[in-house]
């Protein structure tokens, strides 16, 4: 019980999880009151504002059927609303405690409807009509409506992309559109549905729907029709049943259109009941009045496309991952079409998330996906803590040590999984592999059999490169289930060769997408829209439709805009007796309506004040979505004026609120807007473009600059790192207006920061753009003052240009960098990028020559002929053995870390040569490993030493130093742990297998192949992961595993390797798959000729690619197979071919080689037996 000054608290009459309601007396005049108290001891600013908003709505209302507020007072940290007490109880309580006659119920129904009528006449939608929110004093027969906490002053609310998991209201009484799960705005007719459910319960004694959970209840409201009242209770008149069933129609258009119409029918029914006569031919709604000009919330002429979309969703619900591309011109109805699948999504308990790509944000990595998942995370944050704990565990299991990669993209996720440790630093290619794999695992958390996931990405033509790459990765991997991607794009804004067009081509090659192209509506569809809008027969509206189509060409958005414009120009007149709108064709012909949609929208803006238009211009600069706080800070106007501008724009259907927080405008302090975001969106991208087109180029630059500086203040003051891309994008648009040198330098630094962040997110094209702008902002004279900073910028830009596929730009930047290099280290850094360029081009010799030239800078001679290489290898082996005599293995792993920058860059250069050397000159690869070992022993360890240890262990094994080699390989793992060099763990695990088999059972190698594969996937080292996967298949054949099991595992591996398309492991896996088939079909004479032909094909392929290691394995496997089946002469032939490869290449350290010698022994033994 509370103690409120000036009031006596008598008793508690209601308690919820948010408020407590007391009866009391106002001491000044002994007036009975009801006190509604916000019961939380420390309510949030939003809770206080919501409470204040409720009082504000109550204070605006008046009427005999509406509860009257007296005051709102502060109590401690909370608030209390004081209102009149009519001495009654809620109708919900009355229904439980009192047996009411049908006559009493009828009178109550009329009074409740009258209360609602009074509310609607004052342009308020209640949104929570239910028996608990009507108070009835049985003695005085007063009925009053209460509880306006979620009411709205808007003509309609449209939150179709947000808050669908936790809609406002009481679920048992909620209209289909208010659930947020269908493509319909919420208007005053939502209250009629809720009233219908209330009356159903009042007259039948039970609710029409009883779902087991929230999802089931929502589905019932959307799709299930309850039994008519007169069948549930025979005493209920048919006319009353018809009234209630009309009220609870699923479509708002099929319900009553006015509360006065409901009241008239209820009174008519009451008089009939009172007189005992039955109403014949009763038509509910006959006297209903259409009070507003409304465009039906329906889709016309898209039945076929809807059917395809629903089918694709059903396929996704069964475990598929589906992609639908929806193309068409602006305003053609792409978004409306996609939203039509909301109903089946609800039935399947699916999750629908939405992200919109924007033209000016195509350099923001994962922008659309970030938007979609940010909203999903916000919805999850409203769930109970127990549920959040479950989500946290699922997400942590999926993300492992890579959580930070996703929280960098979706900051709000941190509120669920907590602050994440920094992810291991990898090279850019591995980083890109890793982030794509991690993002895919993140999506899998939400795409589940119980809750299929639908991701709608709008305006894909403006999508960023990182998202495009991710979409292709997801569908090329084909491991995601229970997901449907729907991507809408403007066909007229696709450019030939543009990255989106390239994505579409790749997806078509994968056979991964369904394509829909929306054409303009035909005459019948437009006429249906017009006739339903005017409530007139289709034949009567055909002349009007002809005129409309001439203007709009069947574009739905244009058609709707034209109808509304004609209404405002008084071309339509309502005829009450017919319940129809008539039209004047002459007025239609003479109406001032442009043939251009943008011009029509602009014409509609002319009625707005200059101040409101300026506010909208600023909003259009921010983007399709914007928030109140940013507008308030940028505009620097009084809050009341901005509030008025936004309300005007909402009422003119130019913008819409994105959630219920819009109600709090005017009730929060400026500081509170930081914690309670109030977000809006333009009703259509075409509307934003129309507003944006009104701004001159110079004013645009000024506005973007102002927005950018506001974001910069928030970024610096509030540590809003999520604003980095936005602030840089805005400042970049206005950069031509910046004259101050310090500000130019600051913006250049911010672009570098944005570029570095984009690079970390593997959005290399975006990073290159930011780096390019950073470079262009300052003159050569200014850059000359900070040469080291300039050099690093150019190096970073050359690097990301390379990684984004722009090899020409990368090469040109490298040439420019040579003039800026101040040291040999600088030159070596440039060389490393040039080596990668050559490797991308497949120029292995040029890559090696580039390293060879750069090593000369440090007086290191890398031989360029085989004889010299062999000589250097012998010298290197001698040094290797000498070091191992001088330094114990334990001493090696405890060597100090390499600190000398020159030696570090030399190690990097030599390591950069590994892929080219491995492909083109295996002996050079051996020499490189020995060189790195020497550098490590002389100058200390680095992460690259870990890989070097395993490579040198293999060399030792080839020399018969098995135990030493094994210990050196083990030391590599100790060094990995010491240096936390996780980026190299997959390669070390893989390399260890080539030493392990000399000292341990094959099962150890199998375990390390698994570790290499899984760690490779975790760190993005796809190269070693794929080799581990393929090599394991070969080893399985030597461990005695059942051939059927080997075949299944091989087929799975081939499927995966084909997706990632890394040629060598792909080739090895296919070779093993073929050998298993040979093992299983060896006695099949029909297959022998096919096998002979296939053998030749494989040998030719391996020789042409100079892949002698795989060739040797292929020969040995064939020898193995022939020995097993007793074909010793054939076995000898194959074994001799293997011997020739081993002799010519010096191939020793491969687990198939000892088997080769064993097979050779078996062949010789067989010869001996035959001789005896």
Q: What is the model's pLDDT at position 497? A: 46
Q: pLDDT band at residue 670, thresholds of 50, 70 and 90?
A: low
**And the tokens for 469?**
């790459």
* Start and end residues for every CATH 3.30.200.20 domain found in the chain: 1-85
Q: Which of 148, 132, 209, 133 is nearest to 175 (CA)?
A: 209
Work out the angle at residue 1128's Cα, subtended by the Cα atoms of residues 1122 and 1129, and round it to the nearest 5 degrees: 110
Helix, strand, or coil (residue 744): helix
Alpha-carbon distance of 624 to 656, in angstroms, equals 11
* 743-801 residue pLDDT tens: 999 999 999 999 999 999 889 999 999 999 999 999 999 999 999 999 999 999 999 99
* CB of 138 closer than 8 Å to CB of 636: no
Question: H helices of 1061-1151, where?
Answer: 1063-1080, 1085-1104, 1108-1124, 1128-1145
Among residues 557, 623, 11, 1, the alpha carbon closest in space to that of 300 is found at 557
- The HSE-up count of residue 126 (CA atoms within 13 Å, CB side) is 32
Quote the pLDDT of residue 1082.
66
Helix, strand, or coil (residue 294):
coil
Q: Convert the pLDDT of each residue in 869-911 to its tens digit.
A: 999 999 999 999 999 988 888 889 899 999 999 999 999 999 9
Quickly state the pLDDT bin for 1148 (edges 50, 70, 90): low
Rounded to whole angstroms, how far apart are CA atoms 558 and 597?
A: 6
Mean pLDDT for the stretch of residues 7-33 = 93
Mean pLDDT of 525-533: 96
pLDDT digits (tens, 9 = 90+) for 334-348: 988 998 888 888 888
Q: Which residue has the tokens 């067989």?
A: 1166
User: For residues 660 and 997, what is the distance between their CA atoms, to the nearest angstrom?
Assistant: 66
Mean pLDDT, the chain, as a whole number? 91
Report the alpha-carbon distance of residue 811 to residue 806 in Å, rounded.
9
Give residue 890's Cα distance to chain centre.
Answer: 48
Answer yes or no: are the C-beta atoms of 477 and 451 closer than 8 Å.
no
Domain 1-85: CATH superfamily, name plus number: Phosphorylase Kinase; domain 1 (3.30.200.20)
- Per-residue confidence at 830, pLDDT binned at 50, 70, 90? very high
The residues near 740 (Cβ < 8 Å, ≥ 6 apart) are none
Q: How far apart are CA 1045 and CA 752, in angstroms?
A: 53
Rounding to the nearest 10 degrees, give the CA dihedral for residues 841, 843, 844, 847: -90
Scored b (16 or more CB within 10 A) or e, 829-858 reads: bbbbbbbbbbbeeeebeebbbbbbebbebe
- Strand pairing class (142-145; 134-137): antiparallel
The whole-model pTM stands at: 0.83
* The pLDDT value given to residue 16: 87
pLDDT value at 1077 more than 80: yes
Count, residues in the chain: 1172
Structure confidence by residue, pLDDT tens digits, 170-212: 999 999 999 888 878 899 999 999 999 999 999 999 999 987 7
Can you give the pLDDT at residue 161? Answer: 57
**Alpha-carbon distance 1074 to 1085, whole Å?**
16
For CA atoms 655, 658, 661, 663, give the dihedral sign: positive
Q: How far is CA 590 from the centre of its chain?
A: 48
The CATH topology of domain 303-517 is Rossmann fold (3.40.50)
Question: In the predicted model, what is the mean pLDDT of residues 91-117?
Answer: 94
Classify domain 597-695 by CATH number: 1.10.10
Within its chain, how far is the Cα of 1028 from the centroid? 31
pLDDT digits (tens, 9 = 90+) for 945-957: 999 999 999 999 8
Angle at which helices 556-568 and 597-605 cross, to 10°: 40
Q: What is the model's pLDDT at position 496?
A: 47
- Rounded to the nearest 10 degrees, what angle do helices 1022-1038 and 1063-1080 cross at? 20
pLDDT tens across 36-78, in order?
999 888 898 888 889 999 999 999 999 999 999 999 999 989 9
- The CA distance from 795 to 970, in Å, is 36
Q: 967-980 pLDDT, tens per residue?
A: 999 999 999 999 99
The DSSP bridge partners found for residue 156 are 187
Mean local confidence (pLDDT), 713-736: 93
Tokens of 287: 């006297």
- Taking the C-alpha atoms of residue 172 and residue 198, their distance in angstroms, rounded to an integer, is 9
Average pLDDT of the residues in 432-446: 94
**Helix 428-446 with 385-399: angle, nearest 10 deg:** 140
Q: How confident is the model at residue 221, as a pLDDT?
A: 93
Strand 453-458 to strand 483-490: parallel, antiparallel, or no bridges (unpaired)?
A: parallel
Q: pLDDT category, 940, cuts 50, 70, 90?
A: very high
* Count of CB atoms situated within 10 Å of the CB of 20: 17
Task: DSSP letter for 739, please.
Answer: -
Helix (H, G, I), strand (E, B) or coil at 248: coil
Q: Where in the chain is the domain with CATH 1.10.10?
A: 597-695
Tokens describing residue 49: 């504002």
> If residue 484 lies in a helix (H) or strand (E), which one and from where to where?
strand 483-490
What distance in Å separates the CA atoms of residue 492 and residue 461, rounded to the nearest whole number?
10
Is 87-289 a domain of CATH 2.160.10.10?
A: no
Res 260: pLDDT: 94
Which of these ranges, 312-316, 358-362, 392-396, 546-550, has the smallest mean pLDDT? 358-362
| Dihedral (CA of 134, 139, 140, 141) sign | positive
In 248-302, where does DSSP find H-type helix? 259-275
Q: Over range 1032-1042, report the average pLDDT.
A: 86
**Ranges of CATH 3.40.50.300 domains, the chain:** 303-517
* Euclidean distance between CA atoms 475 and 480, whole angstroms: 8
> Using an 8 Å Cβ cutoff, are 244 and 200 in contact?
yes
Rounded Cα distance, 558 and 454, in Å:
28
pLDDT-derived band at 419, boundaries 50, 70, 90: very high
Q: CATH 1.10.510.10 spans which residues of the chain? A: 87-289
Q: What's the mean pLDDT in 819-826?
A: 94
Quick one: 1103 exposed, middle or buried, by C-beta within 10 A (0-12, 13-18, 19+)? exposed
- The string of pLDDT tens digits covering residues 259-283 is 999 999 999 999 998 888 877 789 9
In the chain, helix, strand, coil percent, each to 5?
A: 65, 10, 30
Say whether 40 sits in a helix, a strand or coil.
Answer: coil
Taking residues 675-685, what's their average pLDDT? 89
């Amino acid at each position: 019980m509370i103690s409120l000054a000036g009031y006596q608290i008598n008793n508690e009459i209601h308690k919820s999880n948010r408020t407590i309601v007391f009866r009391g007396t106002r001491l000044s005049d002994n007036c009975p009151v009801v006190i509604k108290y916000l019961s939380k001891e420390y309510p949030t600013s939003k809770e206080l504002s919501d409470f204040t908003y409720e009082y504000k709505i109550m204070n605006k209302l008046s009427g005999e059927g509406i509860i009257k507020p007296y005051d709102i007072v502060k109590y401690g940290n909370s608030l209390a609303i004081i209102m009149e007490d009519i001495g009654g109880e809620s109708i919900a309580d009355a229904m439980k405690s009192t047996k009411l006659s049908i006559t009493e119920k009828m009178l109550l129904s009329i009074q409740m409807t009258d209360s609602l009528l009074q509310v609607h006449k004052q342009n308020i939608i209640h949104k929570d009509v239910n028996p608990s929110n009507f108070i009835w004093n049985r003695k005085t027969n007063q009925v009053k409506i209460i509880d306006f906490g979620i009411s709205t002053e808007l003509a309609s609310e449209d939150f179709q992309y947000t808050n669908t998991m936790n809609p406002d209201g009481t679920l048992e009484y909620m209209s289909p559109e208010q659930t947020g799960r269908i493509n319909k705005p919420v208007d005053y007719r939502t209250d009629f549905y809720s009233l219908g459910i209330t009356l159903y319960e009042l007259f039948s004694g039970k609710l029409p729907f009883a779902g087991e959970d929230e999802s089931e209840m929502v589905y019932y409201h959307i799709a299930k029709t309850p039994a008519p009242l007169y069948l549930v209770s025979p005493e209920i008149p048919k006319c009353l049943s018809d009234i209630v069933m009309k009220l609870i129609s699923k479509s708002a258009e099929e319900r009553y259109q006015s509360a006065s119409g409901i009241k008239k029918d209820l009174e008519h029914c009451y008089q009939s009941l009172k007189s005992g006569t039955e109403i014949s031919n009763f038509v509910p709604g006959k006297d209903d009045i259409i009070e507003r000009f409304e465009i039906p919330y329906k889709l016309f002429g898209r039945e076929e496309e809807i059917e395809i979309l629903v089918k694709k969703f059903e396929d996704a619900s069964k475990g598929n991952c589906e992609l639908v591309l929806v193309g068409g011109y602006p305003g053609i109805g792409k978004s409306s079409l996609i939203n039509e699948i909301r109903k089946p999504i609800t039935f399947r308990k699916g999750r629908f998330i939405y992200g919109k790509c924007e033209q000016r944000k195509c350099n923001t990595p994962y922008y659309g996906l970030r938007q979609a998942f940010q909203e999903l995370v916000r919805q999850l944050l409203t769930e109970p803590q127990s549920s959040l704990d479950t989500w946290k565990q699922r997400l942590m299991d999926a993300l492992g040590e890579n959580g930070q990669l996703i929280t960098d993209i979706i900051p709000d996720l941190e509120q669920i999984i907590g602050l994440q440790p920094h992810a291991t630093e990898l090279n850019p290619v591995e980083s890109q592999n890793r982030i794509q794999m991690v993002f895919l695992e993140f999506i899998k958390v939400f795409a589940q059999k119980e809750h299929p996931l639908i991701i709608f990405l709008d305006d894909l033509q403006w999508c960023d490169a990182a998202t495009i790459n991710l979409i292709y990765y997801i569908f090329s991997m084909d491991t995601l289930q229970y997901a449907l991607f729907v991507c809408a794009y403007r066909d007229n804004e696709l450019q030939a060769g543009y990255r989106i067009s390239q994505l579409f081509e790749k997806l078509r090659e994968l056979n991964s997408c369904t394509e829909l192209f929306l054409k303009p509506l035909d005459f019948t569809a437009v006429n249906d829209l017009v006739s339903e809008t005017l409530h007139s027969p289709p034949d009567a509206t055909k002349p009007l439709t002809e005129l409309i189509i001439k203007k709009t060409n069947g574009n739905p958005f244009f058609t709707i805009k034209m109808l509304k414009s004609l209404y405002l120009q008084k071309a339509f007149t309502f005829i009450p007796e017919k319940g129809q709108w008539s039209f004047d064709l002459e007025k239609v012909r003479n109406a001032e309506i442009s043939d251009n949609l943008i011009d029509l929208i602009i014409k509609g803006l002319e009625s707005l004040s200059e101040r409101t238009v300026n506010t909208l211009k600023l909003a259009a600069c921010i983007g399709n979505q914007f928030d109140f706080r940013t507008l308030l800070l940028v505009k620097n106007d009084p809050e009341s004026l901005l509030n008025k501008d936004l309300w005007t724009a909402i009422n003119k259907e130019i913008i819409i609120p994105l959630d219920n927080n819009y109600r709090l405008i005017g009730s929060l302090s400026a500081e509170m807007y930081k914690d309670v975001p109030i977000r809006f969106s333009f009703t259509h991208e075409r509307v934003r473009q129309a507003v944006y087109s009104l701004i001159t180029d110079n004013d645009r630059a000024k506005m973007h600059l102002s927005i950018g500086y506001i974001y910069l203040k928030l970024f610096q003051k509030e540590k809003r790192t999520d604003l980095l891309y936005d602030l840089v994008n805005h400042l970049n648009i206005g950069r031509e207006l910046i004259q101050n040198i310090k500000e130019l330098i600051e913006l250049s630094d911010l672009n570098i920061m944005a570029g570095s962040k984009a690079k970390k997110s593997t959005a290399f094209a975006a990073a290159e753009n930011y780096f390019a702008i950073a470079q262009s902002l300052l003159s050569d004279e200014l850059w000359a003052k900070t040469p080291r900073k300039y050099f690093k910028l150019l190096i970073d830009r050359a690097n990301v240009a390379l990684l984004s596929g722009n090899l020409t730009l990368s090469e040109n930047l490298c040439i420019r960098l040579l003039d800026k290099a101040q040291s040999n280290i600088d030159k070596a850094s440039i060389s490393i990028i040039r080596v990668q360029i050559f490797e991308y081009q497949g120029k292995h010799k040029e890559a090696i020559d580039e390293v060879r030239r750069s090593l000369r800078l440090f007086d290191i001679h890398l031989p360029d002929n085989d004889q010299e290489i062999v000589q250097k290898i012998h010298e290197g082996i001698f040094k290797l053995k000498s070091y191992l005599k001088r330094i114990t293995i334990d001493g090696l792993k405890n060597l100090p870390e390499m600190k000398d920058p020159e030696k570090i860059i030399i190690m990097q250069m030599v390591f950069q040569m590994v892929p080219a050397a491995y492909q083109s000159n295996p002996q050079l690869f051996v020499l490189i490993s020995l060189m790195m070992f020497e550098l490590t022993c002389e100058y200390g360890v680095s992460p690259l030493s870990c890989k070097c240890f395993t490579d040198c262990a293999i060399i030792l094994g080839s020399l018969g130093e098995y135990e030493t080699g094994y210990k050196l390989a083990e030391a590599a793992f100790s060094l990995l742990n010491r240096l936390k060099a996780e980026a190299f763990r997959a390669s070390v695990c893989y390399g260890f297998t080539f030493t392990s088999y000399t000292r341990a059972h094959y099962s150890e190698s199998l375990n390390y192949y698994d570790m290499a594969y899984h760690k490779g996937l975790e760190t993005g080292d796809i190269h070693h992961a794929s080799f581990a996967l393929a090599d394991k298949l070969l080893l399985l054949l030597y461990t005695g595993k059942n051939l059927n099991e080997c075949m299944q595992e091989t087929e799975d591996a081939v499927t995966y390797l084909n997706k990632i398309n890394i040629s060598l492991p792909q080739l090895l896996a296919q070779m093993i798959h073929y050998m298993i088939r040979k093992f299983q079909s060896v006695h099949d004479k029909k297959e022998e000729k096919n096998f002979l032909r296939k053998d030749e094909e494989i040998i030719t392929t391996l020789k042409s690619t100079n892949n002698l290691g795989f060739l040797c394995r292929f020969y040995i496997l064939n020898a193995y197979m022939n020995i097993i089946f007793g074909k010793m002469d054939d076995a000898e032939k194959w074994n001799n071919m293997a011997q020739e490869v081993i002799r010519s290449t010096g191939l020793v350290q491969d687990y198939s080689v000892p088997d080769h010698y064993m097979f050779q022994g078996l062949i010789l033994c067989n010869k001996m037996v035959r001789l005896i």
